[in-house]
Amino acid sequence: MTLREDDPRTIGGYRIEARIGTGGMGVVYLGRSVSGRAVAVKVVHAKYAENAEFRARFRQEIAAARRVSGAFTAPVLDADPDAERPWMATAFVPGRTLADRVTDDGPLDWPSLRRLGTELAEALREIHRADVVHRDLKPGNVLLLEGGGEDGAVRVIDFGISRAASSDVHTQTGIVMGSPPFMAPEQFSSPREVGPAVDVFSLGAVLVYAATGRSPFEAENAYLAAYNTVHSDPDLGQLPKPLRPLVSLCLTKEPTARPTSAEVLETLAALPVEVTDEEPSGSPAPVVTETVTTLPPVAEKKKPRKKTLWLAAAGAALLGLAGTVVGVNLDDAPAASDSRNGVRATGTPAVPVGWKPWHNALKPDEDDPLSMGIGSSCTPDALGVFCSSPRVALMRLNPATGKVDWSRPMSDKQVDGMSLNDPVVRDGAVYVSSADRNEGVDAFDGRTGKRLWHLDGPVGQFDAMGGVLLVRMDKLTLKESDDAARYAAYEPRTGKELWQRTLKAKSGQPFYEGSDGVLYADLRGGTGQIARIDARSGKTLGTVTPPKGDLWLATIHDGTAYYARWEDNTGVSAAFFIQDLDSGKTRRIDFPWSVQPEAPPLVRGDTMYIFDYGNETLLALDLKRGKPLWTSSRELRVFSEPSLHDGRLYVNMPDTSVIALDPGTGREIGRTKPSFDTEGTSFEELSPSGTPPLLVGRVLYGVSGPGVFSVADVT
């Protein structure tokens, strides 16, 4: 790159000829000594020159680079950390970075890949022997020599954030230094305490990049790359078979379970010079361990595995004995018929291939203003668990592993506030608040993550029912009964508008799903009727007059409406009114005590199941006799809406276990082990879940206060 007007022409007696590149700490120039020797001169940015910490870090870089000068690093020739603009000169290495090499020519072939790995491992061994940790090993910091008879030889550069074990300079609290797609998980969770194992993790990631052109934790932005590093198993793509066991161990989340750089070198050196039995294109990545995840900056640690494990795995690869690993094909999985009503998906395998219990803590980054302190909202489905947050418009967690299959970021646009709908999943499509942060609607294909269509905002609520997507075209107001609102129906896969009507209702979303493409609309704020509407045309098919009084239309099921009577507008109810929506005939059921049903009850056959938020109990009512069947024990403390699958009721518990109850008696059939460690968390810190457990095959998926989880069905 040519010099700019404000670039220096000489530095420390070296004549500056061109720019080589720009980094986070400074600019690197091509210079010449008096004798004509080519040097690379790194100069700290002027804005950092007066910063005492950056000067200290630059001194640290100089000291580290001098300590490790060797065959695989660029030796330090001169430096002045006390100059007005601190600088350091190293021998100039003619060549391209690994990043440029892969971008220009594609992934490395096996001989080049094997050489890269062995030389990088040897470089790290020498760096670590010098008691230095590089901490930013990435394709841009790996040079491949060109010319001079050393084509392809490796040099490790840029020790800008390296650290010697004896150094007193530490990373500030809350500041993470490095390049997320190639950083180790502990660099996010405890950056001040990292050791040589972070370089081994980065080496594994660099080898995957060199072989496939992608980081094993590839993402659309640095935030998601960090998330994938901490949460997900690596995607090894087309990594050659002999490298898979070793690289998998290098990428282990637990630092103490990784091999040392010397052990990596020993294993790589023993690999064959030629490989004829490479993994086929598109091979699935192996499932290495159970996925146990939390968002940065807190990473949950696993028990370290014995070091002999990596030797066994590497030996198996050398002998051709590595086990066959089968991946999961999500594109063939059907969506659940109705996760809200607990209908089990048909044609779904009993357990997804490669499935193990997993949990995923999706919590907001309190230091991120765009997160607004709001965590993720998730909806489980047979295709996966779909989550949205102020930072991520939509992501899919793999149902077998809990890792992020794909994600679609939310815009960084600053807004005064924003509302987020829970992801709505229906027939393979997912509908979420729009990624432009303008409170519109985005529709995505649940399998591929491709955006199907977009609706400009701001709009109010939206939901999928009756074979259409229903959208309130006006924003929600505090006094819903005072104003009419526009509602529209859209073709779910194309976004084509089917109809639009202006309605006056008491609630922001007055629609309820009937059968055979019929919708019911609660128009008591306007006409005072319950209207039956054709979902495709929007035409009114008939109306019925609801019972009078301060009643909440809790749910409609099988042509019958269920209204809860509020007591003095408190949200507490001691009676339900049940109305046949064809004849208008109404009857009343009284409870033996008041309940607080904050979410629609579950109606199946002649039984209604109500989650009483106030008492944290589950109540079963016999609709024919109008009497309670049973109630769960107060000591049980039910903690979610119920779902009914295969003749069992399932509910989440405060400790994130799931219990199965006999729907006829309320007797506990069994329970799973807790998915999260809630020990030490007070009951008041936990929040009941409005999302009931979903059973797909023999696997349960749940959403709780601590996060999302997947466990085997109770026996």
The answer on 110 and 82 residing in a single domain is no
- The DSSP line for 412-480 is ----S----PPPEEETTEEEEE-TTSSS-EEEEETTT--EEEEE-S----EEEETTEEEEE-S---S-G
Q: How far apart are the C-alpha atoms of 650 and 663, rounded to whole Å?
A: 9
pLDDT > 90 in the chain, percent: 39
Domain presence at residue 265: yes
Cβ-contact 238, 106 below 8 angstroms: no
**Which pLDDT belongs to residue 218?**
85
The answer to the question of residue 567 being in a domain is: no
| pLDDT confidence band for 291 (50 / 70 / 90) | very low
Q: Are 714 and 670 in contact (CB under 8 A)?
A: yes
Judge if 50 and 119 occupy the same domain: no
Q: Looking at mean pLDDT, say which of 191-195, 295-299, 383-387 comes out highest.
A: 383-387
CA distance linking residue 465 with residue 362, whole number of Å: 28
The continuous run of DSSP H or E covering 519 comes out as: strand 518-523
Three-state DSSP class for 199?
Answer: helix
Domain assignment of residue 58, yes or no: yes
Tell me, what DSSP letter sits at residue 538?
A: -
Q: Is residue 583 part of a domain?
A: no
Give the separation between CA 505 and CA 32, rounded to whole angstroms.
78
Q: What is the mean pLDDT of residues 396-421?
A: 84
Same domain, 118 and 256: yes
Q: Position of tokens 């859209």?
A: 490
> What's residue 286's pLDDT?
32
Q: Answer with the one of 60, 91, 122 that is the final residue of a domain.
A: 91
Q: Which residue's entry shows tokens 């420390």?
A: 12
Q: Are residues 66 and 210 in the same domain?
A: no
Q: Considering the domain boundaries, does residue 284 fall inside one?
A: yes
At 306 the pLDDT is 29
Q: Helix (H) and strand (E) counts for the chain?
A: 10, 44
Residues 153 and 228 in one domain: yes
Q: What letter represents residue 640's amino acid?
A: S
Query: Per-residue pLDDT tens for 128-179?
Result: 888 888 888 999 889 898 765 567 788 888 765 444 433 333 333 333 445 6
- Token match 């709505």: residue? 424
The reply to whether 43 falls in a domain is yes
pTM of the entire structure?
0.54
Coil vs helix vs strand at 592: strand
Residues 141 and 249 in one domain: yes
Give the pLDDT score at 592: 66
Higher-pLDDT residue of 351, 345: 351
Q: How far apart are CA 694 and CA 701, in angstroms?
A: 5
Same domain, 74 and 116: no
Surface-to-core class of residue 108, CB atoms within 10 Å of its CB (0-12 exposed, 13-18 middle, 19+ buried): buried
Number of domains in the chain: 2
| Pick from 69-78, 394-403, 623-632: least confident | 69-78
Take residue 500 and report the two structure tokens written for it: 């639009």
Residue 596 three-state SS: coil
Q: What is the pLDDT of residues 168-225, one digit of tens each?
A: 333 333 334 456 788 898 887 766 668 899 999 999 999 999 999 999 988 766 656 7
Residues 76 and 124 in one domain: no
Domain identity same for 204 and 319: yes
Per-residue pLDDT, 373:
43
End-to-end CA distance of the chain: 67
Torsions phi, psi for 81 (to 5 deg): -75, -10
* Predicted pLDDT at 396: 96
Angle CA 78–84–86, to nearest 5: 35
109 with 84, same domain?
no
Let me know if residue 589 belongs to a domain. no
Residue 117: inside a domain, yes or no? yes
Tokens found for residue 550: 């301060």
Structural contact between residues 448 and 423, judged by C-beta atoms closer than 8 angstroms: no
Q: How far is CA 600 from the centre of its chain?
A: 29
CB 467 within 8 A of CB 535: yes
Domain with 49, as residue range(s), is 10-91
Note whether 113 and 81 are same-domain residues. no
Q: Enumerate the β-bridge partners of residue 471.
A: 462, 488
Q: DSSP secondary structure string, 143-197?
A: EEE-STT-TT-EEE---TT-EETT----PPTT---S-GGG--THHHH-GGG--TH
Question: Among residues 91, 121, 156, which one ends one of the domains?
Answer: 91
Distance CA 195, CA 705 (A): 34
Nearest to 498 by CA among 528, 530, 466: 466
For CA atoms 398, 400, 401, 402, the dihedral sign is positive
Q: How many CB atoms lie within 10 A of CB 568?
A: 7
Dist. CA 478–CA 204, nearest whole Å: 55
Q: What is the CATH number of the domain that holds 41?
A: 3.30.200.20
> Do both 57 and 115 map to the same domain?
no
Contact criterion met (CB below 8 Å) for 426 and 464? yes
For the chain, give the mean pLDDT. Answer: 79
- DSSP state, residue 73: B
pLDDT at 261: 93
Domain boundary among 302, 325, 348: 325
The CATH number for 136's domain is 1.10.510.10
- 685 exposure class (CB count in 10 Å sphere: 0-12, 13-18, 19+): exposed
The 3-state DSSP class for residue 248 equals: helix
